Structure 1
Amino acid sequence: MPRRKRVYRKNWKPDSKYGSLVVGRFVGHLMERGKRSIAEKIIQDCFEIIHDRTKKGGLNVFEQAIKNVSPLVELKSRRIGGANYQVPIQVLGDRRATLGMRWIISATRTKKGKKMAEKLALELIDASQKTGAAMKKREDTHRMADANKAFAHFA
């Protein structure tokens, strides 16, 4: 009998303006203290900034950025024989996109000096071009997973 509770998938609502489930999930991750309208406004402003700077659709750049940043593998700590090993595990489905979204948001929040919409737009543009802090986090994770490939049989 498992010791943990069963985790049920959350039913995300699509975004009100774009009708996209991915944007709706991103709004949920970006939102702080339940202020959904502020998070939606930040994303709308961000998409306008992206459109002005790249002459591409904000939604297209956003989806490309999420796809680029989403990791293929992640590391999980396993305690075996009194030692902790970082075991590389393949990331599946929704968790890939969720990790990518979290990394983009955390990279955006670490930047200082500009409005959130502007910082998010710059990070999404960078991620769509395979540069930036979120892509660095993905590459570091993949590099660590590659270095710990010897422990993959512990998974």
Structure 2
Amino acid sequence: MAVFYSNALRCSINGYRSMSMFPKHYAEPIKRKDMEEFNKSELTKFYHIPIKPALNSYSDTVFNDEIKGKMLNYITKNGNKNLARGLLSRTLEIIKRAQTERMHLSPDDKQKVNTNAEKILIDAVENSRPLLQLTSIKRGGVNYQVPVPITKKRSYFLSMKWLLDAAFEKDNKVGLPERLAWEILDAAHGQGRVIKRKDDLHKQCESNRAYAHYRWS
């Protein structure tokens, strides 16, 4: 038993699964986005090669989106993903209804009103992404708040976290889907508390730009 665990640990460290149900000669699944890199002649090489089935989160369809999947993971608490999926679906439904009502109230601007709830969610996350952040660096016994560029992964995490924090801070008499929907709508239109929080962070980075050289010293 100990030998089995030691072999499994060694295989996991080396970067591949030791208990895979597929033989090693099986090729990795190809996403639709990856197919753009292959020519038609190169794809013919995979005709007689067995390919592993793709995971649910790996498929490139209109029902799967990376930002939507990450937002679903951030909403999930205590592993209850079914509840989180219901809350996110309800949020997107409220956004769709609000935008549809707005479209009917202003028939002259029908072409300008976006009723795609998932596209609005993506726009809200993109508008809320910060470009800089402050990090504490100690020089000469003094801690300085130094502005540094933020990574792409970290910026997406902060934008979604800020949207959820702003929704949780609102009145508890209203359900989470309603609160989150209005925060997403505000952020998608470049306004609201999340956009203000991002602008405040950028202003703090601008005011501390004199300490930017401490990043390399």
What secondary structure is seen at the aligned counterpart in 1 of 2:95? helix
RMSD between aligned residues:
1.7
Letter in structure 1 aligned against 2:190: K
In the alignment of these two chains, the number of paired residues is 143
Q: What TM-score, normalized to structure 2?
A: 0.63
Map of 2:90 onto structure 1: 45
The two structures have a TM-score, normalised by structure 1, of 0.87
Return the index of the structure with the highest Cα Rg.
2
Match for 2:168: what amino acid? R
Tell me, yes or no, if the aligned pair for 1:14 and 1:21 is still in contact at 8 Å. Answer: no
For 2:168, the equivalent position in structure 1 comes to 109
CA distance in 1, matches of 2:198, 2:58: 26
Q: State the Cα distance separating 1:18 from its structure 2 match.
A: 2.6
CA offset digits 1:95-145 (Å, max 9, x no partner): 111110011111111001210000000000000011111111101100100
User: Displacement of 1:14 after TM fit?
Assistant: 6.4
Distance in 2 separating the partners of 1:124 and 1:24: 16
SS at match of 2:174: coil
| Partner residue of 1:35 out of 38, 56, 80 | 80
Q: Which one of 90, 97, 117 corresponds to residue 58 of structure 1?
A: 117
* Map 1:6-155 → 2, pairs under 5 A: 13=57, 18-55=63-100, 56-112=115-171, 113-155=173-215
**In 1: Cα distance, 2:182 partner to 2:209 partner:** 34
Q: Which has the higher contact order (CA 8 A, sep 6+)?
A: 1
Q: In structure 2, the residue corresponding to 1:131 is in which secondary structure?
A: coil
Partner residue of 2:39?
Answer: none
* Gapped regions of structure 2 (runs ≥ 5): 1-56, 101-114
Counterpart residue identity of residue 126, structure 1: D
SS across alignment from 1:74? strand
Can you give the 5+ residue segments of structure 1 that lack an aligned partner in the other structure?
1-12
